[in-house]
Amino acid sequence: MKSSSDFTLHILGCGSAFPTPRHNPSCQVIDHRGSLYMIDCGEGAQATMRRMKLKFSRLRHIFISHLHGDHLLGLPGLLSTLSLSQVAGTVTVHIHAEGERLLRPLVDMLCPERSYSLQWDILNPAGGETLVDTGKLKVTTFPLFHRVACCGFRFDTSGPSRRLLGDMLDHYQVPVAMRADIAAGADFVTPSGDVIPNSWLSVPTPPPRSYAYCSDTVRSRAVAAAVAGVTTLYHEATYADADASLAVPRGHSTARQAGEVARQAGVGKLIIGHYSKRYNSTDTLLGEAREVFPDTFAADEGKVFDI
Ligand SMILES: [Zn+2]
Ligand SMILES: [Zn+2]
């Protein structure tokens, strides 16, 4: 599935811990203007990346939410393959401290001479960190509430609110020094005193967009506050109402609870995933989430969502 948007979410895996023929364990890739950011890296991630034609050479950051196998066991294989693919530049793995301690020696043994520079960045489980800031995209963390330390990730775009029209700037001979003011919305006053309205010199850009990833976690008002107002929210929906009693003891949520978080947070749309193996289809989960939050969609391997 192709998208013309410059900010997209690609679902590589949306099952939970137990493997099924229907779903891979957790993995997704954000494509922002051609740079790829992977969130969790369950088994099968690298093969699915190739199937979805996501280029290894564009992968810059990998964020691992927590140290359960269904979120990280694809990582050693992927990091080895990046070298086989002659990926250059720097790839940064953001992971909890114990994960770095265990995986770093394994990756160094499997792949001692890499084509790229591998950086390990230790996550603070309390959240509140900025992991990436390109000036156009910022990635920050917030705590999730699971059986082990777990981080959610929030992606926020930013940039000028207007795009300059080069031909018009040249036509009115707008000095380079004034172009930042024009991008901020100012009119241009010519040396002879004529006012050229901003709308002749620039056009509005799309409003900032944002994406938040919440897997795995119990339902939480703190999580709803951390993801308030995002354009697109991914929230785990491991269980249906019929199995709701399992959710809190296992550190997970129901689909209905995911809908409640989306409603509390006032998000644009909700995508659910991390389905328990016990369900043969997502129909019940999707229906229960939609009763609370109608703009809900079910993740599935190979799906691409505009953010
Ligand atoms: Zn999980
Ligand atoms: Zn987990």
DSSP classification of residue 151: E
Cβ pair 9, 300 in contact under 8 A: no
Q: Which of 241, 267, 253 is closest to 217 using CA atoms?
A: 253
300 is catalytic: no
Ligand 1: centre distance to CA 216 (Å): 6
Report the pLDDT value the prediction gives residue 161, as an integer from 0 to 100. 80
Taken in order 224, 147, 250, 12, the sign of the CA dihedral is: positive
Q: What pTM does this model have?
A: 0.90
- Give residue 173's identity as a one-letter amino acid code: Q
The total of other beta-carbon atoms located within 10 Å of residue 103's CB is 20
Backbone angles phi, psi at 170, to 5 degrees: -65, -40
Confirm if 187 and 196 have CB atoms less than 8 A apart. Answer: yes
CA distances from 215 to 151, 208, 237, 240 (A): 8, 24, 9, 16
* Separation between Cα atoms, residue 54 and residue 112, nearest integer Å: 25
CA of 194 to the centre of ligand 2 (A): 63
Closest CA to 243 of 212, 276, 268, 198: 276
Reduce the DSSP state of residue 210 to 3 states and report it: strand
| pLDDT score at 56 | 97
**Which residues have their alpha-adjacent CB atom under 5 A from ion ligand 2?**
68, 216
pLDDT reported for residue 1? 47
DSSP 24: P
Output the CA 288–ligand 2 centroid distance in Å.
Answer: 22
Query: In this structure, which ligand is nearest to the CA of 42?
Result: 1
Query: Could you tell me the distance, in angstroms and rounded to a whole number, from the CA of residue 73 to the centre of ligand 1?
Result: 11
pLDDT value at residue 3: 59
Nearest to 45 by CA among 23, 16, 78, 22: 78
- Residue 39, both tokens: 């969130």
Q: Which residues of the chain have pLDDT under 50?
A: 1
* 15 Cα: distance to centroid of ligand 1 (angstroms): 8
Tokens describing residue 227? 């993801």
Marked catalytic residue, from 6, 70, 108, 133 = 70
